[in-house]
A and B are shown apart, each in its own frame.
Chain A
Amino acid sequence: MAEHGAGDLRLTGLTKRFGDFTAVHPLDLTIPRGSFFALLGPSGCGKTTTLRMVAGLEEPSGGTIHLGDTDVTGTRAHRRNVNTVFQSYALFPHMTVLDNVMFGLRRKGDKQAEAKAREALELVQLGQAGGRRPGQLSGGMQQRVALARALVNRPDVLLLDEPLGALDLKLRRQMQIELKRIQQEVGLTFVHVTHDQEEAMTMADHIAVMNAGRIEQLADPATLYEHPASTFVANFLGQSNLLRARVEGGARDGLVRANTEGQELLLAADSVPEGLTDLWVGVRPEKLTLGEAGGRNRLGGRVVDASFTGVATQYVVRTPWGADLVVVQQNDGSARATPGEDVTLSWEPGREFVLDAAQDDHAGLDEVAVDG
């Protein structure tokens, strides 16, 4: 809608230091107006700090924030048309739920404050709770009040700091759909912080994966999954099998010959960066096929674990050199392998992604190690 979205949200060199600790390294980011943008990353990587700077609650140590053509870096929080759903809810304990939701509209002197607030409460399925105090509500209900309180203002940019974290799975899915619907209907810019990669993938147009105060990769969900730019992204977003390989010879017919532990691999030439010889070859579990039907790349191994999950079976296959590869096989009625069985894994060149071997293959696997 025309009156909404003062324009793109543009962060340029945005930095935050607490003493000598840099919580957010110089950050350059353009969030297109009206888009659903997700910020994904492990605990302590600087997501909340970034949002707080955009909201005007934290003063940047450097850099600028633009909303459209306006530089809002020095604008105080109450003058920015930006609203936040706080990670800790921050509901006013001395007001009723309805007064909480009306707070923003009242400040603007909106005549229909009450009607709009009731509608927003209806939306988060709390139509009956308007007269209660936040302290009388469960964590999940409080979170939905926080959501309604921010959403009802229809700001240019809505900042959501893990807004669904306290909800059970069913409600979470409902709220995801609801949020996405509102975002599309009203055309607001959403910046959604989450731990939950599935939530980020299903909801967002663009995802920035953050690690230790830096953005590792910014892309749409499919690109992020199919072509992660770093081992951190590969491991943080879904599962990845990473094989150490060496390029042997140049490209021919769009394929590059490589070698992993004495096994020959064919890689799509356009996925191998120019001049790189030591590689991580990454293959997602569902891209591997048990048997030889999957494609020209073949690896042998022995099944050490098989877990049946209903729609699929997840195998762990140990290669002769001791690496464990994860394979997910659709439950299409074909025979299942059993632990101890020798199997061949196969995939077609081009289904893999390629990264520089200089990167740590365990990055992003252990979130705690990444912390701080």
Chain B
Amino acid sequence: MAWVRRHLLFLAAVLVLAYMLVPNVVVAVFSFNDPVGRYNYTWRAFSLDAWANPCGAAGICQSLGLSLRVGLVASLTATVLGTMVAFALGRHRFRGRAGTNLLIFMPMATPEVVMGSSLLTLFLMMGLPAGTLAITIAHIMFCISFVVVAVKARVATLDPRLEEAAADLGATPLQTFLRVTFPLAFPGILAGALLAFSLSFDDYIITNFTASPSSVTFPMYVWGAAQRGAPVQVNVIGTLMFLVALLVVVAGQALAARRERSRAG
């Protein structure tokens, strides 16, 4: 009994972690399944077929490619625009600053269904056809808010004296930005960009409103596949994505730890 009491915290942590990770484990395990029929819901036999041929299911890799392209363009554009907004909000006092701050939060607070349907109406009115371009524009829009929030938090911690010191030492405004401001704000910008990418890659509802039959993103493919029957390849790609995300997080932490050590050491 004493042993349980002493290790209660540890046990609780293991349980919570298990609760969080079981879905990922199930996805990974079933990527090695060899199902009969259209559904990959019961374990039958071990097989590497899906891993050997991840694009084997019709349309899956096209949808993955589209999602990656949209995610890349949307997150890059949103990062550039959002970073500029964040600097303007964090650095300059201007009329309507409080109002702008509020408006930036709006897309984060609006339910996605509402935003998706409104966008569809807007695009129809403007004569913009549903499809890849519409999806990308929609993604850029909601990603900007998240980038702004991430970068603004970082900008708030920057000491404006550092930019003054750079100017004082003869750096032009551009040099000051490239050598001082940007490197110092970079962790926030990177966090914003990663967040934007994963939000874009992940989005289903807004995408669904703005997509055409020929622009099927990965989440849409999976959703459609789940209706018709899910190929094992979905699990393979899901597992790969989980591994990539894990790699990014671990690399980020290792980098942060190293910087911490060099700063404290």
Q: Do A and B come from one complex?
A: yes
Name A residues whose Cβ lies closer than 8 Å to a Cβ of B. Answer: 55-57, 76-78, 82-84, 86, 88, 90-94, 103-104, 107-108, 133, 135-136, 149-150, 153
Interface centre among A78, A88, A133, A150 (most CB of B within 10 A): A78
B263 within 8 A of A: yes
Which B residues touch A91, using CB under 8 A?
165
Q: How far is the CA of A83 from the CA of B184 in the complex (A)?
A: 22
B264 to A: closest C-beta gap in Å: 7
B170 within 8 A of A: yes
Which B residues touch A149, using CB under 8 A?
169
Which B residues touch A90, using CB under 8 A?
159, 161-162, 164-165
The answer to whether A92 and B162 touch across the interface, beta carbons within 8 angstroms, is yes
A78 touching B263 in the complex, CB below 8 Å, given contacts A84-B165, A90-B164, A92-B162 = no
Q: How far is the CA of A187 from the CA of B169 in the complex (A)?
A: 20
B81 within 8 A of A: no
The answer to whether A55 and B168 touch across the interface, beta carbons within 8 angstroms, is yes
Which A residues touch B175, using CB under 8 A?
107
B96 within 8 A of A: no
9 A-B pairs, CB-CB below 8 angstroms?
A78-B167, A78-B171, A86-B164, A88-B159, A90-B162, A90-B165, A92-B166, A92-B180, A136-B263
Whose C-beta in chain B lies nearest to the C-beta of A135?
B263
Whose C-beta in chain A lies nearest to the C-beta of B158?
A93
Which A residues touch B24, using CB under 8 A?
none
A107 touching B171 in the complex, CB below 8 Å, given contacts A92-B180, A135-B263, A136-B264 = yes
Q: How far is the CA of A136 from the CA of B262 in the complex (A)?
A: 8
A136 to B: closest C-beta gap in Å: 6
Q: Which of B169, B183, B264 contacts A107 (CB 8 A)?
A: B169
A58 to B: closest C-beta gap in Å: 9
Which B residues touch A94, using CB under 8 A?
183-184
A50 to B: closest C-beta gap in Å: 15
Cross-chain pair count, CB within 8 angstroms: 66
Which B residues touch A55, using CB under 8 A?
168
A113 to B: closest C-beta gap in Å: 12
Whose C-beta in chain A lies nearest to the C-beta of B175?
A107
The answer to whether B263 and A83 touch across the interface, beta carbons within 8 angstroms, is no
Q: How far is the CA of A76 from the CA of B171 in the complex (A)?
A: 11
Whose C-beta in chain A lies nearest to the C-beta of B163?
A90
Q: How far is the CA of A24 from the CA of B176 in the complex (A)?
A: 29
Q: How far is the CA of A82 from the CA of B162 in the complex (A)?
A: 16
The answer to whether B168 and A83 touch across the interface, beta carbons within 8 angstroms, is yes
The answer to whether A104 and B170 touch across the interface, beta carbons within 8 angstroms, is yes
Which B residues touch A104, using CB under 8 A?
169-170
B172 within 8 A of A: yes
B185 to A: closest C-beta gap in Å: 10
A77 touching B161 in the complex, CB below 8 Å, given contacts A92-B180, A107-B175, A136-B264 = no
Q: Which of A57, A93, A133, A136 contacts B167 (CB 8 A)?
A: A57
Q: How far is the CA of A245 from the CA of B187 in the complex (A)?
A: 69
B265 within 8 A of A: yes
The answer to whether B180 and A77 touch across the interface, beta carbons within 8 angstroms, is no
Whose C-beta in chain A lies nearest to the C-beta of B160?
A90
The answer to whether A57 and B170 touch across the interface, beta carbons within 8 angstroms, is no
Q: Which of A84, A103, A133, A135 contacts B171 (CB 8 A)?
A: A103
Which A residues touch B169, using CB under 8 A?
78, 83, 103-104, 107, 149-150, 153
A88 touching B161 in the complex, CB below 8 Å, given contacts A94-B183, A107-B175, A133-B262 = yes
The answer to whether B170 and A108 touch across the interface, beta carbons within 8 angstroms, is yes
A214 to B: closest C-beta gap in Å: 25
Q: How far is the CA of A184 from the CA of B179 in the complex (A)?
A: 33
A146 to B: closest C-beta gap in Å: 9
A77 touching B167 in the complex, CB below 8 Å, given contacts A107-B175, A136-B264, A136-B265 = yes
Interface centre among A77, A83, A108, A136 (most CB of B within 10 A): A77
Q: How far is the CA of A104 from the CA of B84 in the complex (A)?
A: 27
The answer to whether B166 and A103 touch across the interface, beta carbons within 8 angstroms, is yes
